[in-house]
Structure 1
């Protein structure tokens, strides 16, 4: 018996990267998966097709996570499609680097609209459809705990997610629903590759990437997206029934 047999899951931002691997993993464990995307219908359909090729069930639904009406429609359409909702994984997010004097109100609105408000309002939309045993996993980041130059806005948004999870846990716990977050470290995705140099201290720009990994991560390598997905699959399973309000670091042991 697969661990998520008979469950229905929404995974936001799941047309690529970590979100794609989460969708694939939950489907492998037996869940019917809603693959959410914002602007890449072709990539979302590729994920759906891959799931179906592995004898899973999935559908793609468009919704922009900074538009509350689209968030609500995502949840409504998912329930109409599958008749129930058991799992929400809020993965969609955007990156930001910028010096203090360069941060604009528009930057703040853009980052917090997706990384914080988007995760809050998709939780709000999904919660009424979850029954006892429901699972919610949001996405924080190790950036909430480790400083990097010019990363204030992004890090603050991810710290807010951990605070939301902690404070929503008692409220949702009254209904038997757990809510947790994952905090991935460096992960081998296209987003990480685009921003890798920006995470590096200016004094270490000439140090080889391999040496940096060995000096900063106990396991001496980046995570693979499948490893982040495995942590999510654990948190939404019955094996994690006594875990709520927590942020799980999936970072290879950063120090």
Structure 2
């Protein structure tokens, strides 16, 4: 029996057993246990480049001058970027050698819709819910509840959710045990889980650190809510993306790949 058939997912009930399902790392087959340094690095660098363009260069209104209009454009573009990046990741994990080997574009699109279409639908709804939760958390930490800054808070929450909630939502959907093991238990095991975990944690920490400078009496334009939090989240996202690459490259999975190549 192949590894694909051995893996049990959260959505599959146990047959012939009343015991609880054991949730395993996200891996459809052996290929998700492998780390491909060049493809993973290119995907990560592409995502970081596009995210930077979406936040600092493409919007006609600059973040420091008009955060509302800037984040309106940024979040709209970031949705497309995240969808594109997750499709590329899916193509990387589609085959055991790490590359797409579909015989035609039509077959590839059919497989994409069949295997990932529902995931993207779930991910969008979960991301919107995550934005709502970020909005509530920001208010609890002192963000304006009823004022002209409410839109600022919502756009910050949506930006954070697109960076931190959308990727795991595509991978985990609404399977609570996966979310719990990776984030509550701090126990990412497979390559996709590690890439998601470190990036998500550092993005949230970066946004939190960005909030610490708001009450300081420096009178700088970037201290206006939520500019420093957005910048902090962006920096945390960059740091986490690079950190996850380093951890996976020099961890056991990356070492195994290097041994096979040399």
Structure with the higher fraction of residues in helix conformation: 2
The two structures share one fold, judged by TM-score above 0.5: no
Structure with the higher fraction of residues in strand conformation: 1
Q: TM-score range by the shorter chain?
A: 0.3 to 0.5
Greater RCO (Cα-Cα under 8 Å, separation 6 or more): 2
What TM-score do the two structures reach when normalised by structure 2? 0.33
What TM-score do the two structures reach when normalised by structure 1? 0.34
